Structure 1
Amino acid sequence: MLFVGDDWAEDHHDIEVQDEHGRAVKRIQLSEGMAGMARFHALVAEFLPEDAEPADVLVCIETDRGPWVRALVAAGYRVFAVNPKQAARHREIISNSGAKSDKGDAHGLADMVRTRRHQLPQVAGDSDVAEAVKVVTRAHQTLLWERTRHMLRLRSALRDYFPAALEAFKPLGLTSPAVLRLLAKAPTAATAAKLTVSQISAALKGHRNIPGKAAAIQQALRTQQLGQAELVAAAYASTVRALVAVITTLNTEINNLEGEVEAHFGRHPDAEIYLSQPGLGVVLGARVLAEFGDAKNRYASAKARKNYAGTSPITRQSGKTKTVHARFVHNDRLVDALHLQASCAILHDCEVRAYYDELRARDVGHNAALRQVGNRLVGILHGCLKTGTHYDQTTAWHHRHDTQAA
């Protein structure tokens, strides 16, 4: 067997190859791309016998994604992705001098996969469909986060010079196309006060009760308010127009990407299983699928999936002290999706709601209760994916009824 430490950078890889005894048989720097990968294959061939298998090559690297990692997995090598924090701790074990270099990092990674491979997560290749779902869902979620950031900037600017707009547009939301059209047309208090009911109604096209809403908005825009000097207000208006243009563009692209998310997610064979889960629709289901992946051997058990999801707690015990904490090192995108799933599930599934109410009755906080609900839902999802069956309320929650009956 060969043990390879790969310390990657944007344009090159520092490689160290060790044998089973920990001797470094080769150190080399390879370029990123096809030429570097071809040289990597040639390097492996130099030290492996002809009857060896690609699985006899174990590669340790501090990332689990990208074309380089995907090429290693496709070649049949066993690739182990480690957290940089894990790699740093292992480096401290094999050297206490505090020295650090790219070659030294490659040496530490090779030694790590040689001595502790049974403790490291192996990269499992997802299908092309799952990879495509991940790309579009992450892009969609990133644009949503960007829209929220720009919306908060818009809100802050309006609060400083045009507070009446916040009160007038509060029922619709600052990211509403109708609100953006009105702000683009009248970004100052003086111009907004001159808007007629018909102008406001035209911007509200597509909404319900347009006359009532238009009258309420006009009245709010014409109320007395504290403001800024005319010159300062004009400067704020320029920034608001820019923010309105950015948010309008983001709205368009978010809608376009949502269609892509639905199209790619619909091609996945497990899509119906995800959609059968309580609290999951197309967008949330696609996010959960994207972040979990679909490699069959990635999660050995429901507990392993829960640990990766970050929903299962961790216990710290020393002497007579024992405490239970939430996991703070986790996949933020997955945790966000599971939190939203739990929030929706307690509204639409009576068994999930009963479990949530039971937790709240034990003085568990709202967010902690949602995290426990999410943890249970992850276990249910794992069972459904393992057996290829849809969510069944009776099967998923029968243990609670058996316990209550006993």
Structure 2
Amino acid sequence: MLFVGDDWAEDHHDVEVQDEHGRAVRTARLPEGMDGMARFHELVAMVLPAEAEPADVLVCIETDRGPWVRALVAAGYRVFGVNPKLAARHRELVSLSGAKSDKADAHTLADMVRTRRHQLRQVAADSGEAEAVKVVARAHQTLIWERTRHMLRLRAALRDYFPAALEAFKPLGLTSADTLELLVKAPDPSAAARLSLGQIRGALKRARRRDVEGKAMALQQALRTPHLGQAEIVNVAYAATVRATVAVLQTLTEQIKTLEGQVEAHFGRHPDAEVYLSQPGLGPILGARVLAEFGDAHGRYADAKARKNYAGTSPITRQSGKSKAVHARFVHNDRLVDALHMQAGAAIMHDTGARAYYDELRAREIGHNAALRQLGNRLVGILHGCLKTGTHYNQATAWSHRYQHLAA
């Protein structure tokens, strides 16, 4: 067997090939792209016995995605994507001096896969459909997070020079279409006070609001309410920044809507889409996010516990002597944890089995978020069983240990 450490950068890869005794038999710096991959194959072929298979080559690299990793998997090599923090801890075992270089990192990665491969997770190739869902689902979620950041910047600016606008637009929402339209027309206090009822009504109608007349009068009155403010020249400067932020928010909202359609389209084409949609609390968007982060490679998760550990929903027990404590996992996939938390929150409103489990946890004086996390952990196990057997969610099966009580 050969063990390869691949320390990657944006435009090159430092590679070290080790034999079973840990001796470095080849080292090289390869360029990114087709030429680099061709040279990688040549490097391996120079030392790989003729009777050996590509699966006898184990590659360790600090990423589990991208064209380079995909090419390695397609070539038949066994690829292990490791967390950079885990690689840094192993580096401390290999070298106590603290010295660091790309060549030394390649040596560390090769040594890691040689000595600890039983503790590492092999990269499993997801289908093209799952990869497509991941691309659009992550982009959609990233734009939503960006919109939230820009909304908070807009709120901070308004609070500094136009606090009346925050109160006025609070019932509508700071990122709603009518709020943004009115802020473009009147981004400073003096301009907002001059807004007519007709202008406000028009914005509310285009946003399809109810009780337009009542809302328009209340909004006009709120915008004309006296408040502490800034000098006029400062208001003009703030108004310019608000216009720019509003323009970004309008663009983000438009593109979020566009990507939402793409997420639903790609997710709908995946073979497991119906299984995901049958789960309590999952719709097309959340289902796509969960599928994207879990992937669909067969055999990636040995059992439900392995999937829960990857999801970051299963707890960690710390015990020493008579001291024992159970903690939530701090290191996790933020996108997946966020989606599972939202799923649990929706499930307790629509599924009696999930609600009963949540109520049981709350009755034991477990906090709301901790209860949702435990419920999410249970739902991950249910999802694993459904995907493994290719069956849809069934409340009687999922909560069989308490279903008779629920039915009664």
Q: TM-score range by the shorter chain?
A: over 0.9
**2:399 match: secondary structure:** helix
Q: Which runs of 5+ in 1 are unaligned?
A: none
Structure 1 residue 115: Cα displacement: 1.2
**1:303 match: secondary structure:** helix
CA distance in 2, matches of 1:353, 1:190: 51
Deviations along 1:144-171, one digit per CA (max 9) or x if unpaired, are 1111011011111111111111111111
Q: Which is worse superposed, 281-290 or 204-213?
A: 204-213
The one-letter amino acid of 2:181's match is R
Q: 2:283 aligns with which of 274, 281, 284?
A: 281
CA distance in 1, matches of 2:244, 2:100: 46
Deviations along 1:93-150, one digit per CA (max 9) or x if unpaired, are 2222222221111111111111111110000000111111111111111111111011
Deviations along 1:241-266, one digit per CA (max 9) or x if unpaired, are 11111100111111111111111111
CA distance in 2, matches of 1:242, 1:345: 39
The one-letter amino acid of 1:202's match is G
CA distance in 1, matches of 2:148, 2:15: 42
CA distance in 1, matches of 2:327, 2:406: 27
Deviations along 1:17-50, one digit per CA (max 9) or x if unpaired, are 1111211111111111100000111111111222
CA distance in 1, matches of 2:315, 2:406: 24
Tell me how large the CA RMSD over aligned residues is: 1.4
Q: Do 2:353 and 2:406's aligned partners in 1 also have CA atoms closer than 8 Å?
A: no
TM-score by structure 1 length?
0.98
1:22 and 2:22 are equivalent in the alignment: yes
Q: State the identity as a percent.
A: 78
Q: Do 2:10 and 2:32's aligned partners in 1 also have CA atoms closer than 8 Å?
A: yes
CA distance in 1, matches of 2:404, 2:95: 55
TM-score by structure 2 length?
0.97
CA distance in 2, matches of 1:382, 1:347: 22
Q: Which is worse superposed, 96-105 or 314-323?
A: 96-105
**Corresponding residue number in structure 1 for 2:377:** 375
Q: Which runs of 5+ in 2 are unaligned?
A: none
CA distance in 1, matches of 2:325, 2:405: 26
**Corresponding residue number in structure 2 for 1:185:** 185
1:333-352 to structure 2, matched below 5 A, reads: 333-352=335-354
CA distance in 2, matches of 1:367, 1:164: 34
1:27-46 to structure 2, matched below 5 A, reads: 27-46=27-46
Structure 1 residue 403: Cα displacement: 9.4
**Corresponding residue number in structure 1 for 2:264:** 262
Q: Do 2:2 and 2:17's aligned partners in 1 also have CA atoms closer than 8 Å?
A: yes
**1:126 match: secondary structure:** coil
Structure 1 residue 402: Cα displacement: 7.1
The one-letter amino acid of 1:39's match is R
CA distance in 2, matches of 1:150, 1:95: 44
**Corresponding residue number in structure 2 for 1:72:** 72
CA distance in 2, matches of 1:158, 1:94: 54
CA distance in 2, matches of 1:10, 1:64: 15
Q: How many residues align?
A: 405
Deviations along 1:172-211, one digit per CA (max 9) or x if unpaired, are 1110011000010111111111212211110012112211
1:123-142 to structure 2, matched below 5 A, reads: 123-142=123-142
CA distance in 1, matches of 2:405, 2:99: 57
CA distance in 1, matches of 2:275, 2:171: 36
**Corresponding residue number in structure 1 for 2:203:** 203
CA distance in 2, matches of 1:392, 1:221: 52
1:143-162 to structure 2, matched below 5 A, reads: 143-162=143-162
Structure 1 residue 269: Cα displacement: 0.5
CA distance in 2, matches of 1:142, 1:401: 39
1:2-17 to structure 2, matched below 5 A, reads: 2-17=2-17
**Corresponding residue number in structure 2 for 1:237:** 239
